[in-house]
Chain A
Amino acid sequence: MSEAVHAPIVEMKDIEKHFGPVIALNGVSFDVRPGECHCLLGDNGAGKSTFIKTMSGGHKPTKGKILFEGREMSFDSPRDAMTAGIATVYQDLAMIPLMSVTRNFWMGREPVKKVGPFRFMDFAKANEVTMTEMRKMGINLRSPDQAVGTLSGGERQTVAIARAVYFGAKVLILDEPTSALGVRQTANVLSTIDKVRKSGIAVVFITHNVRHALAVGDRFTVLNRGKTLGTAQRGQITPEELQDLMAGGQEMVALESSLGGTV
Chain B
Amino acid sequence: MSDTGSSAAVDERIKQTSKLREAFIRPELGAIVGVIAVFLFFIIFAGDSGMFAPQGVLNWSTVSAQFVIIAVGACMLMIAGEFDLSVGSMIGFSGMSIAIMSVTLGWPVWLAILLTFALCMAIGALTGTIVVRTGLPSFIVSLAFLFILRGFTIFLPQTIERRTIIGGISSAAEGDWLAPLFGGKIGEGFFRWLAEMDIIATYSRGARAGEPMVNGIPMLIVWALVLVIVAHIVLTRTKFGNWVFASGGDAQAARYVGVPVNRVKIQMFMLTAFCATLFATCQVMEFGSAGADRGLLKEFEAIIAVVIGGALLTGGFGSVIGAALGAIIFGVVQQGLFFAGVESSLFRVFLGVILLFAVILNTYIRRIITGER
Binding site secondary structure of chain A: mixed
B254 — which chain A residues lie within 8 A by C-beta?
A: 96, 107-108
By the criterion CB–CB under 8 Å, are B237 and A96 in contact?
no
In the docked arrangement, what's the CA distance between A147 and B2, Å? 25
In the docked arrangement, what's the CA distance between A38 and B279, Å? 60
Task: Scan A141-152; emit 1 where CB is below 8 A from any B CB, else 0.
Answer: 010000111110
By the criterion CB–CB under 8 Å, are A147 and B257 in contact?
no
By the criterion CB–CB under 8 Å, are A96 and B239 in contact?
no
By the criterion CB–CB under 8 Å, are B370 and A108 in contact?
no
By the criterion CB–CB under 8 Å, are A187 and B1 in contact?
yes
A138 at the interface (CB under 8 A from B): yes
A110 — which chain B residues lie within 8 A by C-beta?
A: 239, 242
A79 — which chain B residues lie within 8 A by C-beta?
A: 258
A40 at the interface (CB under 8 A from B): no
By the criterion CB–CB under 8 Å, are B242 and A93 in contact?
no
B3 — which chain A residues lie within 8 A by C-beta?
A: 138, 191
In the docked arrangement, what's the CA distance between A99 and B372, Å? 12
By the criterion CB–CB under 8 Å, are B371 and A149 in contact?
yes
A78 — which chain B residues lie within 8 A by C-beta?
A: 256
Which stretch of B6-14, B44-52, B88-96, B134-142 is in the interface? B6-14
By the criterion CB–CB under 8 Å, are B2 and A194 in contact?
yes
* Contact status of A108 and B258, CB under 8 A, knowing A142-B14, A190-B1, A194-B1: yes
By the criterion CB–CB under 8 Å, are B4 and A187 in contact?
yes
* Contact status of A107 and B1, CB under 8 A, knowing A99-B249, A121-B239: no
* Contact status of A147 and B316, CB under 8 A, knowing A79-B258, A93-B252, A107-B254: no
By the criterion CB–CB under 8 Å, are A140 and B11 in contact?
yes
The one of A98, A191, A215 that contacts B370, using a Cβ cutoff of 8 Å: A98
A112 at the interface (CB under 8 A from B): yes
B11 — which chain A residues lie within 8 A by C-beta?
A: 140
B369 at the interface (CB under 8 A from A): yes
How many of A's residues come within 8 Å of B, CB to CB? 40
B42 at the interface (CB under 8 A from A): no
> 8 Å CB contacts to A: which residues of B122-141?
none
A109 at the interface (CB under 8 A from B): yes
Shortest CB-to-CB span from A38 to chain B, Å, is 19
In the docked arrangement, what's the CA distance between A108 and B249, Å? 13
In the docked arrangement, what's the CA distance between A96 and B254, Å? 8
In the docked arrangement, what's the CA distance between A135 and B1, Å? 16
- Most B Cβ at <10 Å: residue of A108, A120, A187, A215: A108
Shortest CB-to-CB span from B307 to chain A, Å, is 15
The one of A103, A119, A139 that contacts B242, using a Cβ cutoff of 8 Å: A103
- 16 A-B residue pairs with CB within 8 Å: A93-B252, A96-B250, A98-B245, A99-B245, A106-B242, A107-B242, A109-B258, A120-B237, A142-B17, A149-B370, A149-B371, A187-B1, A190-B1, A191-B2, A191-B3, A194-B2
- Given A147-B371, A150-B371, 7 further pairs, Cβ under 8 A: A96-B253, A98-B249, A108-B243, A108-B259, A140-B10, A149-B372, A191-B1
Binding site for A on B (CB under 8 A): 1-4, 6-11, 14, 17, 237-239, 241-243, 245-246, 249-250, 252-254, 256-259, 312, 316-317, 369-372
